[in-house]
Amino acid sequence: PPGAGKPPAVARSSVRQQVCFGLLCLVLCFITGGEHAAATWLAPLGIEFGGFGIGSAAMMTSLFWSTICICRLVWCAASACVTSSWPTLLVDVSLMSVGSLMLLAFARAPSSGGALWASALITGLGASSGLPCVMALPAEVGVPMTPFAIAMLNAAGSFGETVFPFICGIAFDRRLVFGIGLFLLSMNLLSVLSTSLAWALAARRPKQGAPGVKRIN
């Protein structure tokens, strides 16, 4: 039959969708970066500056990862009832910003170990469903999840989880605890801004008669 053997047409995203996808990649970079920076350096910060014992630092790290694990399991059950992941993602990145504020509070008063525990818990809450939300949103926006799109998301996540702990390690070596908190807070606030912009773009509808998605024959 005519056309037999030809590869299926590939959808090409509009400029609006491409910008939205780029912002989501940026948000994923911030989320994975903040998650792995916290996982790497919260315990050493507690030991070095907060007077934590090895056991207490290990328990705090376990709290961080347990929070992420439990909340992702909850998200698996709740996601079927969610019509859009945008509100959840905005709450996630906002929680990570609050977690960074708790880290700044610890930097101002290292004896207040509770602030560091709160940072671990709140950052874990924010990072837990942030990753699955970002992975689900391209399809919601109408961006085809091609191998290239998946590779871009993976590259953005890997960049964040590699670079953020490295930057925090340099600050830790120089005993710049406040600098670590300020860096993570800045990145998380950029994440909130990027999420808000992406959501606003996603909410815009193409003008009447303007094609939302073009096709490549």
- Residues 34-90: pLDDT tens digits? 999 999 999 999 999 999 999 999 999 999 999 999 999 998 888 888 889 999 999
Q: Are the C-beta atoms of residues 182 and 104 closer than 8 Å to each other? A: yes
User: Which pTM value belongs to this model?
Assistant: 0.86
**Residues 149-167: pLDDT tens digits?**
999 999 999 999 999 999 9
Which residue from 61, 4, 8 is spatially nearest to 37, judged by alpha carbons?
A: 61
pLDDT tops 90 at residue 215: no
Q: Are the C-beta atoms of residues 84 and 198 closer than 8 Å to each other? A: no
- H helix count then E strand count, the chain: 6, 2
Q: Are the C-beta atoms of residues 150 and 22 closer than 8 Å to each other? A: no
Cα gap 180→64, rounded to integer Å: 18
The backbone torsions φ and ψ at residue 12, rounded to the nearest 5 degrees and listed phi first, read -110, 130
Please list the alpha-helical segments (H only) found in the chain.
Answer: 15-49, 54-78, 86-108, 113-141, 147-173, 177-203
Cα gap 46→61, rounded to integer Å: 10
Confidence class of residue 27 from pLDDT cuts 50, 70 and 90? very high
Structure tokens that stand for 10 in this block: 């590939």
- Determine the Cα angle at 133 with ends 182 and 17, to 5°: 95
pLDDT tops 50 at residue 212: no
Q: Residues 196-205: what's their mean pLDDT?
A: 88
